[in-house]
Structure formats: structure tokens, C-alpha cells
């Protein structure tokens, strides 16, 4: 490597773990010692990994040397206290701080944020705060992102939310908490004028939030992302949200059992720029909702309809046909999804742009091997297919399969990209009890670039297909069937 320029060597070093750089690489020669401390290699430092004591000491001692380069720091608060114990360190370029331990976090652990990391923009805590002084310590900074996982007393939580409302530059808030009352939610929506993204994740189910909480939203609110899963919000709540947040691009209302088709209609009429819609496991939704989605949301990219029992074939077909921007679709555990209607050549015409990259059909009893291979054939951008717990995926005709493989081999000489579907990178058959060897063999022939093939719980599979799959799919090294893991080296 002596003849390589410095930038090439640094690029190679970027693929190595930091502990290897510190304990092995920098000891090779003076040049490697210098290059191993290049700024590009230390923009992200993760001290939460499973280091042994020697590696941890090396990382901490090196941190002082590279502190002016670090932009993202992930650290255990107790280790942070050790770092700050004796020296006044300054991470002058630090933009993102992750503290991800469930220990008590105090001001003394954090040091003085205005001094230690004056350019800090994003803070992620999965720690318990001793008191609101921790958050107030960041008040002089221009934080734009704040994420907090909290399970402590409600009073401390309340004080922290009130402190959040006083931050002038806050744009993204994510809270992982037990519950949130109307007063605090209303306070957040009213006082965080620059807020673009509010995502709430609750430990409890059906958290009570009344419509009054959304009355504080003002017209042309800047919110573009809103996450309210597992709450008791109603159609009236969605009406207020849709009227005041016309620029909404993402909304998550999974498991909100009080929502009906009327609530989705409010979104469809007023939030026409919606790109990301999560409405999984809402029992009152019918095929009317799917028709609204296909007709109104022309910019839709991600749609989650998991466990929507009322969704029928015609609605799903219209989504696939009309939502040409869609890249991710989840229709898992929707019992009315049927292979006969879902077959792509009956839905999509050649002039429809097929941009779908991920589709989840898990838990649907009517999905057959035929529909799986047709989807793979016609969706040229598709990368991931989830087919867990699909009992109707069984086998394919061996004779036709051999003929198909033969045709594929002959056609690939003229049109290899059209024949071999190298776009498929991941297929999941976990728990699909009736999948047989012929399906996996055929898949390996037409999808040679598979990286991830999951077969746990496929009880009808034998060892006979392993050699074929390992020869055809060069990126697969391990396969698990019948609670046994098979390695490429041991099979070929």
C-alpha cells in the first residue's frame, strides 16, 4: 500500500472499526499513525459498543486527540462523566449527542453544554432526568432535535415538556413515554412555533387524548410529520389536524381504534401532499378509505395498511395502479387480499411507472407462489418481499420450472437485466409452513443477487436445495432451516 495516495488509504481505513485503527493500524508505521487520526475517520464516534477494557481506554484517550473532528457522539453518560472529570474538553464541531443508558443523567454528567459543545443541534436521551435543570442546561443552544425515552415520575416529565416549549429553534421532538395528557400536548403544539415533526410513542395502548388538545393548532401550522399511534384520537381530531396542517407529509395513526373512513376523508381533502401514511390495525376502516387514498394521495410513497380487516381486493388494486410514486406497501395480515386480483399483470399497464421497492404480504392466506414470481418479474425496482406466514405458498410445477429456468438462461444472453431479477435483495418466508424446495430453487435462479433469505419455520424444506442456492446466490453465506444453520463452506 506504500504507493497509494493518502486519500485512498483513508478511504480503506474508513471501513475498519475504530478499535482496530487504534490498537493495530496506527502501530504499523508513522504514516499510518498519522492517517489513522484523519478527521474523516472520526466524525462519528460510538462508545456504546461492547469494548473490552483495553479498547475502551484506547478510545477515550484518543477522543481528546480527535475531539475537534467529532460531529456525532454516542456515549454512556457514566463514561461521559469520566471523560469530563479532570479536563475541560470541548467538542467544537459536535452536532449530535446520544446518551443511551437508563442511568440517572444530571447536569454534572453533561458538563456545561454551552462550553462543552456549543454547536450542538440534536440530543437523544434514553436516560432518566434527575430534574428539569438538565434540559435547562441546553437552553442557550440552538437545539433543533430532541428525543427522550422516559418512564419516571409524571411531575418531572411535566417540567421537561414545559421547558421544551421555551426552546426557540426546536424543529423535531420524539417522546417515548407512558402517556401524555391533553394539557401538555396542547402546550407543545401551541408554544413550539418552529416545530416540524412531533412523534409520540406510548408504552400503553389507547392513550386518552381528547379533541381539545388540537384546538391550539393555528392555521398553516408548520407541522409536516405527526405521530400519534395507539391513542384515542377521533375523526374530529383528524379534522382539526387536516385543516391546520395543510403541508403534512407524514402521519402515523396506527392502532387508533376510534378512527373511521370519515377521518381519512378529512386528510384526503386537506392534506394532499401526504407522502407517508400509517393506518394499520384500525378496525373501522373499509374499502372507502382505500379508494380515497388511491384517488387523492398522488404523492404517496409509503403506505401501511397492516391488519386492516376491511380492505378488499379492488381497493388494493387501485392503490397499486394509481399511486405511481409508491415505494413501500404493507398489506400484511389483510385477510381479503387475494392472489387473483393482486397479480400485477392484471393491475398495472406498461405505461405505469413501477417504483415499488418493498412490499409486505405476510400473514395472508391467499398469496400463492404464482403471485410471488409475477410480482418479482414485473416490479423492476422491487428489493424486499415479506412473505412470512403465508400458508398457500407451496410449490411450483417442476417441469415448467425447468423450462422457465432454461428460457431464462437463453434469454439472458440477449437481455440479462430483463431476465435475471438482480434487483431483489431480500425475501422473507419465515413461518410459511408449506414452502417447498422447488420455490427456493427457482428463486435462486432468477434472483442471483439475494443478500437475505429467511426460511425459519419452513417445515417442508429439505437439505437438497442448499447446494443450488449457495451456487446461484453468491452473497448468501448462511441459511437456517429446521433449527439448523448451514454454512456455504460446508455445503459447496
Per residue in 172-181, pLDDT (tens digit) is: 999 888 878 8
Q: What value does the mean pLDDT take over residues 5-34? A: 84
Q: CA dihedral defined by 159, 165, 169, 170, rounded to 10 degrees?
A: 70
Whole-number Cα distances in Å, 222 to 100, 219, 325, 456: 29, 9, 24, 45
Lowest mean pLDDT among 171-185, 260-274, 433-447: 171-185
Q: What is the pLDDT of residue 458?
A: 92
pLDDT at 391 over 60: yes
Q: What value does the mean pLDDT take over residues 452-470? A: 93
Q: What is the pLDDT of residue 85?
A: 64
Query: Which residues share a beta bridge with 360?
Result: 330, 386
Closest among 284, 221, 225 to 258, alpha carbons compared = 284
Q: What is the pLDDT of residue 439?
A: 94
Query: Which residues share a beta bridge with 148?
Result: 125, 175
Q: Quickly state the pLDDT bin for 405 (edges 50, 70, 90).
A: very low
Q: What is the pLDDT of residue 432?
A: 94
pLDDT at 343 over 80: no
299 grid coordinates? 404523492
Q: Quickly state the pLDDT bin for 26 (edges 50, 70, 90).
A: confident
Interval 208-238: pLDDT, tens: 888 888 887 877 688 999 999 999 999 999 9
Are 395 and 372 contacting, i.e. CB atoms less than 8 angstroms apart?
A: no
Domain boundaries, the chain: 340-353+374-492
CATH of domain 340-353+374-492: 3.80.10
Whole-number Cα distances in Å, 144 to 19, 194, 196, 198, 207: 31, 9, 10, 12, 27
pLDDT at 78 over 90: no
Q: What is the pLDDT of residue 417?
A: 40
Q: What is the pLDDT of residue 299?
A: 92
Distance CA 285, CA 278 (A): 13
Q: Tell me the whole-structure pTM to 2 decimals.
A: 0.82
Amino acid at each position: 500500500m506504500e504507493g497509494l495516495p493518502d486519500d485512498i488509504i483513508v478511504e480503506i481505513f474508513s471501513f475498519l472499526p475504530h478499535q482496530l485503527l487504534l490498537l493495530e493500524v496506527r502501530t504499523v508505521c508513522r504514516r499510518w499513525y498519522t492517517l489513522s487520526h484523519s478527521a474523516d475517520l472520526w466524525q462519528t464516534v460510538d462508545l456504546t459498543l461492547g469494548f473490552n477494557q483495553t479498547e475502551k481506554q484506547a478510545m477515550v484517550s484518543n477522543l481528546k486527540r480527535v475531539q475537534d473532528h467529532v460531529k456525532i457522539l454516542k456515549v454512556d453518560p457514566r463514561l461521559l462523566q469520566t471523560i469530563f472529570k479532570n479536563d475541560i474538553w470541548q467538542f467544537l464541531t459536535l452536532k449530535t449527542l446520544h446518551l443511551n443508558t437508563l442511568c440517572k443523567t444530571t447536569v454534572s454528567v453533561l458538563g456545561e453544554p454551552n462550553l462543552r459543545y456549543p454547536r450542538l443541534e440534536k440530543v437523544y436521551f434514553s436516560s432518566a432526568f434527575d430534574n428539569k435543570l438538565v434540559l435547562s442546561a441546553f437552553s442557550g443552544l440552538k437545539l433543533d432535535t430532541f428525543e427522550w425515552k422516559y418512564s419516571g415520575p409524571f411531575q418531572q416529565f411535566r417540567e421537561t415538556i414545559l421547558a421544551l416549549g421555551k426552546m426557540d429553534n426546536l424543529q423535531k421532538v420524539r417522546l417515548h413515554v407512558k402517556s401524555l395528557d391533553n394539557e401538555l400536548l396542547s402546550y407543545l403544539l401551541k408554544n413550539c412555533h418552529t416545530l416540524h415533526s412531533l412523534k409520540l410513542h406510548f408504552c400503553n395502548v389507547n392513550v386518552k387524548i381528547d379533541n381539545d388538545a388540537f384546538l391550539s393548532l393555528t392555521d398553516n401550522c408548520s407541522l409536516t410529520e405527526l405521530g400519534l399511534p395507539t391513542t384515542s384520537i377521533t375523526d374530529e381530531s383528524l379534522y382539526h389536524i387536516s385543516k391546520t396542517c395543510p403541508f403534512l407529509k407524514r402521519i402515523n395513526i396506527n392502532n387508533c381504534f376510534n378512527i373511521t373512513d370519515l377521518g381519512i376523508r378529512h386528510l384526503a381533502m386537506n392534506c394532499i401532499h401526504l407522502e407517508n401514511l400509517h393506518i394499520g390495525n384500525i378496525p373501522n376502516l373499509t374499502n372507502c378509505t382505500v379508494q380515497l387514498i388511491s384517488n387523492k394521495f398522488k404523492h404517496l410513497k409509503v403506505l401501511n395498511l397492516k391488519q386492516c380487516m376491511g380492505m378488499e381486493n379492488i381497493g388494493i388494486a387501485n392503490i397499486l395502479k394509481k399511486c405511481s410514486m409508491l415505494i413501500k406497501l404493507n398489506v400484511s395480515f389483510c385477510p381479503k387480499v387475494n392472489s387473483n386480483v393482486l397479480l400485477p399483470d392484471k393491475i398495472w399497464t406498461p405505461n405505469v411507472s413501477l417504483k415499488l421497492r418493498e412490499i409486505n404480504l405476510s400473514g395472508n392466506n391467499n398469496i400463492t407462489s404464482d403471485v410471488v414470481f409475477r410480482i418479482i418479474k414485473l416490479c423492476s425496482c422491487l428489493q424486499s418481499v415479506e412473505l412470512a406466514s403465508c400458508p398457500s405458498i407451496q410449490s411450483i410445477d417442476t417441469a415448467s420450472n425447468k423450462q422457465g429456468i432454461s428460457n431464462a438462461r437463453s434469454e439472458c444472453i440477449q437481455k440479462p437485466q430483463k431476465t435475471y431479477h438482480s434487483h431483489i435483495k431480500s425475501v422473507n418466508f419465515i413461518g410459511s409452513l408449506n414452502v417447498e424446495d422447488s420455490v427456493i430453487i427457482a428463486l435462486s435462479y432468477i434472483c442471483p443477487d439475494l443478500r437475505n433469505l429467511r426460511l425459519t419455520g419452513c417445515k417442508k424444506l429439505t437439505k437438497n436445495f442448499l447446494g443450488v442456492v449457495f451456487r446461484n446466490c453468491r452473497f448468501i453465506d448462511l441459511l437456517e432451516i429446521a433449527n439448523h444453520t448451514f454454512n456455504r463452506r460446508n455445503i459447496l
